[in-house]
Structure 1
């Protein structure tokens, strides 16, 4: 296992070095020059090879003695469309007439600032940048003097960081922290993020998977806390390696691997894997390595142990890819950092450490299961079969994202009925009681599926509402948009603040937002004052990718906000699930009315 991890880290490191040879540093990609002319200030941005600027990110302002926007009154080179954006590929050359400055503010001294953001064709996007210059109008002469702003470097960095962080989202702040903090602090912070993520639904499906592995292993050998912890550690390390590789690739290439792993073909394939695992636990067959590979492994002194370790590592690796991480701010922040800087080493290690934090409960469960595992006996066969039923539940949970909701309810119903029938073979009164309760739930599910219910948590919804859908009159209505053009059109026509919800059918946290946060009465009341837009990125089409790239979104759920002045409110950006209280806190902080 050590050799595998070392190989992977060396691979990531060498890949990062290769990438860094191709990607320009920010000061190489964008060279800003201010030049004094007789009647104007010339601002020029020389672009490096394969570098382009976003047209809508270019801002030219007077910042002192008072902030005044100038860009709308200046003549900029004509931009061109590219990959769903409006951009500049040629060097940017802009003249700022002195007469314009005087017409805006009567002063002898002006601080001029240009803000911009750009990307490389290689897929790397740079963080927003800015440059400032001061223009002096001397009292006794007509000639103008242009001088650069000279600040103490540390003071400038502190001021810029403070002002930028006030307008950054939680995700962007995490990306900035990665860039500006010490390595040890970054790793400690991400380990803490992982611990927090371990209490989210992301990790729950892994608990029965790991437990089933330990129970299966205990049939063939005596289990104790040390062995249980070791097995859990192998599982967690493999899971962490999977997260790290997927995250680094996604960060470097901007690929939405979460979307790729959630398409119907992949989910059906993974569901079948869990069905096969379930039938293996039912005793119909045993999953083994191919005989040729197994023979080679068994030639070593610890062949049997290594074979078991390899199987656990494979399950941990697959579990990470199948279940997938929640697109929460820590993960998104790390990916944004990797995407902006190309620093796959620090970003990858941060993701690895975060994954270890997510695995802490699994390590505790493994050690506890190993310590308190009773002696082998006939009971283990029954427990193994129960875990087989749980594996079938995981398979349905995966399919639930891509199949018809009513069909999913039928599958849950059949699983509950099958579980109830299986438990009836045990004559213990507790087993009989549990079996009866599960059977009743299964029957309710069948009735709900026949009625056309779509929510397994509310199978009798249509009966309760007299056959009428439970949609309420005050339920939030989102308008779907498909591309950047439709988005800009909707924003320009809105007289209210705007919310854009990135959503997908396979996104579990998206459904939590819909069913919990957006059903809360206080949230509904608050959002009546907003224009609500929804971008369905289920298919991960080119237009979906362009929309997500525009706002630095690595995957749903994510919410982007605009104020009544049509300006994006970056500090309000939400990535991942927020409960009603947290969601309202974001609104109250950023939208006073």
Structure 2
């Protein structure tokens, strides 16, 4: 392959091109109500009584979260509890409600008992949470019957206790109940997916060095065994972690969610990234390297023992990077309490993570070009993406202005190194021209991030939103006007009036604590394509902020767990469609247009 073509097809351009998309966001779509879990499953609790305290376990389903500040505890009779010891949780920066602390996965909460607490009493656990799909649940209360010792039974739960529950989401099912094959296959696929992220970048030079160290006469069989041994070291390390997770339940997951751990992981990722720019070299001390080399020479397996050890150490290298998905995996494993299943699942995930390494180790020495200048470009690209990953990991715990500034520095720095501001000779190669073009694009993205930071924006996806200030003011007049409805009787009356007038009707479920409701109000309803269509409907709004009994009855009538939810009725008063969760303007306009045809 010609050297010029290698430079043109170098992964540098393809990988750095991804950075140009960092300022873009993918549109969220409405969700299916049947895919939402009922609140008692989405935010499950169990409690165990100890001599002087209650140990409560909050189990938040995948793709759901609970607000820490809306979690409260009471007893019947009253006054039996001391101050609860709440975990720190994860910080969530919300555009409408500011900084919030939320809980994912499993959390352990210690509730001190006052001396003289009776042998039996009732514990009320009040909480509120949301689905990441954009649906927020009204406040919900678990009523737990506490006995003298042992686990408490769940007496009842208030909210829509007799409502018809929706079908559980697939994520809420017990994967292990579907069989070991399904469980291990799912974790294997998850590992393969993680292999195509920046988490694998630090491992590629290590595997390359293993193959290169064997010289030019290495066979594919030898390359396969070396890379397989390396991946076994990686996989068995995670197997141990999976066994620990199965034995300790949620404790390890809670530890991985601590801000100090995630921020430390981000700093470590920056350290690794800077080493990719050859600012320094990360390696074992020379004395230790010599000992490992001498030991490996005395082993009958040649380099296999050392390669296995390198694989085990590599699990520590990529550990911070894979912490977010690993935390989800450990949360599930911890919920099963099965150490054998936990070890096998993490082993399968690590095998998936290492599968590309085995392919590179087996075939890379024969199909990849030999070492040259292109490797330095690839290392630099890996370093850039690792810096981007570090910013992404740390974003929930950093001030919004600092996040935008970090993205600006990264993009502008890439533009400088791509020689965006240097004059190219007339006979410059096409790869140089493409590099300069990409550099100029990244400079514009970085400049937009910097402008957004200075203008006080908080979302790096929309750094120039402040430019639409005048347009936003003008759009206030386009905000639809809803008539309030607070009971099923009022709704029936409004439906009768709409039938008499021959107009379709739109019923919007709203609450002040619903983030997606605010997003619909600010982004979807005022849109030029949506507002004229909404004016052709009779517009009703059921504000369920207070979650009164009549509000619960309205939600129950339509089988809703919480807002946002929009019910569409035809001129005959028959329900013809519904929109659950935040919906972008284009999709919402399409659904309204279908109703009006």
TM score, norm. by length of structure 1:
0.49
Higher relative contact order (CA 8 A, sep 6+): 2
TM score, norm. by length of structure 2:
0.49
